[in-house]
A and B are shown apart, each in its own frame.
Chain A
Amino acid sequence: MKSQWYASAGTPLLKTINLFKTVLPILFGMLLLINLLNPLLATHYADWFNGHYLHDTLIGALAGSISFGIPITSYIVGGELVGKGVSLLAVTAFIMAWTTVGVAMLPLEAAFLGKKFALIRNLLNFLFAIILAALTVFTLGLCQ
């Protein structure tokens, strides 16, 4: 009975170990990349916006796409940007792109989900970040 269990669990275990052999180097590489980019980006966010509605929305989505971190960080950075006069449209695009688009994560996503999947999903989500930002601001305008 016991040996049967070992036999049936052996293959999935080997599969998992082999998968981890791929996961770990990419994961360490990604963490190194993210930690190198984050200090460079964090100090420059506010400089990229110029007050032009369309330009700022695009920049917001682009900045969110190349940034990385847990969603809560995007809310805090976004809140600070609103405080500095950046439009809510641009900040919403920034927040949305932050979690749905991951340029730094592309190699990892492509490695596990396929290049086409990663590229199409990220492009689609970039577009959706802008559309969703516009819809949210429009709806809020109706609510007021």
Chain B
Amino acid sequence: MSVGDPGFPIPVPDQDTRPFWDGCRRGELLIQRCGACGKWLWQPRPICSSCQTPDPTWTQVSGDGAIASWTVLRPPTLPAFAAMVPFVVLLVTLDEGVRLLGYLVDDAGRVLTTDGGAEGVRTGRRVRLRFHDQAGTILPCWTLAD
């Protein structure tokens, strides 16, 4: 991992999660899928929780999905985020069925300063994957698809 601004929380990968973060740095969203039963798994784990087969396969996905829920971060936040508020964090259900968090970003991956109103953020809207560089940490994020 690159060393991020110490003001932002920094992911600390371990053996079970490092492929995900390495994928982000290549611009790829990798999700584990069980090679035996086909179950998509999130968060990362060493064993399929559905059939207990070890070593689910890291599989690149499109990142297409829909908003399952969302919130708006407002003051008070951690100091590193103060210049960004208000901003929207989405809970996205990928088409594969797993749910991930991510900022609402523009087409270029920049975090939008918004309460979501102008963009019409609502549950069920389709989103597309983008990546956002947060002081050296490459984070999957989402932009509205339509």
- A, B in one complex: no
